[in-house]
């Protein structure tokens, strides 16, 4: 196999494992027409995303982190998300660009389908809010 010098790795976050795995299955490529010039590998990885939330700090004794009313503090809370990791490799930058553009066209269709069918299952809501991909 030929060494493919042009490389790109994309990490695409999804609000749940179900969405990431559905995207993975929908985007699983057909056999590459020229495997000696282009390669694509995907994987689904669970991870944590840090969001800033206001929470009750009645057990906190630090006055420097309290808000103006003294009853709340800003602290970070971990929210579970899943990432779709896509690794591209190509013989030239041009081949890489064409392959990545094709991938993004397919990804847009997948995300539009998620938005069109949101709420059709229990995965359409995360933390009490509807999931909308933008």
- The domain segmentation of the chain, as residue ranges, is 6-57+69-124
Predicted confidence band at 118 (pLDDT cuts at 50, 70, 90)? confident
User: Which comes out higher in pLDDT, residue 132 or 104?
Assistant: 104
pTM: 0.65
Instruction: Domain 6-57+69-124: give its CATH code.
Output: 3.30.310.50
Query: Residue 109 has what pLDDT?
Result: 93
Query: Residue 31 has what pLDDT?
Result: 79
Whole-angstrom CA distances from 104 to 97, 98, 99 are: 11, 10, 9
Distance between CA atoms of 126 and 15, rounded to whole angstroms?
A: 7
């Amino acid at each position: 196999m030929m060494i493919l010098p042009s490389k790109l790795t994309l990490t695409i976050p999804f609000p749940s494992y179900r969405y990431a795995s559905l995207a993975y299955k929908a985007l699983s490529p057909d056999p590459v027409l020229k495997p000696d010039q282009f390669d694509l590998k995907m994987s689904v990885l669970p991870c944590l995303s840090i969001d800033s939330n206001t929470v009750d700090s009645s057990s906190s004794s630090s006055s420097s982190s309290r808000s103006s009313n003294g009853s709340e503090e800003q602290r970070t809370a971990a929210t579970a998300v899943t990432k779709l990791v896509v690794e591209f490799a190509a013989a030239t930058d041009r081949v890489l660009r064409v392959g990545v553009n094709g991938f993004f066209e397919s990804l847009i269709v997948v995300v539009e389908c998620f938005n069109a069918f949101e709420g059709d299952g229990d995965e359409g809501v995360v933390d009490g809010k509807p999931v909308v991909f933008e």
